[in-house]
Structure 1
Amino acid sequence: MSVLTLIPAASDPFDAAEADVRARYVAAYLADDRAGDVIARDWTLYEIEMYDAANPDQPPLMDEIDALDTPAAA
């Protein structure tokens, strides 16, 4: 007798999309910072602030951006 087993998806597609948006903001910030483009970097920071305001149920992305400049403990 054959037995079928349902295997749940690894993650919700909406969670994956949300993670992609957050990763793109971080990548844009890092690219602007590396290029030394202060105006583009400030615009990206503004967009991140607006993203955080629109998604209060998510961890603040600005905290992740701020942590990029924090040296790691040895």
Structure 2
Amino acid sequence: MPTFTLLSAGDPFEQMAEVAHASVRAGFIADYLAATNLIDRAHIAYEVELYDRANPDEAPLMDEIRGLHQPAAA
């Protein structure tokens, strides 16, 4: 007699939420890099801080933005 195994396809809502979070994070980074003056960068940094406080279970996005200015390890 054949045996069947149930394979979960994952929750589509969770997958959509992950894609949305990744898009928001990428958008913040793109906006930060595109900012042409300190006032715009400060405003985006403020928005990123709010985002980080609202999503404490994720890696801080502000750390990623600060890491953009660090030289790569050799």
Task: Tell whether the structures are fold-level matches, with TM greater than 0.5.
Answer: yes
> Which residue of 2 is the match for residue 40 of structure 1?
40
Gaps (5+ residues) in structure 1? Answer: 1-5
How many residues end up aligned between the 2 structures? Answer: 67
> Which residue of 2 is the match for residue 13 of structure 1?
16
> Which residue of 1 is the match for residue 59 of structure 2?
59
Paired letter, 2:50: M
TM-score normalised to structure 1 length: 0.80
Is 1:69 aligned to residue 72 of structure 2?
no
> What is the Cα-based RMSD across aligned positions, in Å?
2.0
Gaps (5+ residues) in structure 2? Answer: 1-6
* 2:58 alignment partner, SS class: coil
The CA distance in 2 between the partners of 1:71 and 1:7, in whole Å, is 42
In the TM superposition, residue 7 of structure 1 has moved relative to its aligned partner by: 8.0
The CA distance in 2 between the partners of 1:13 and 1:49, in whole Å, is 23
2:27 is aligned, of 7, 24, 28, to 24
TM-score normalised to structure 2 length: 0.80
Dislocated runs of 4+, deviation >4 Å: none
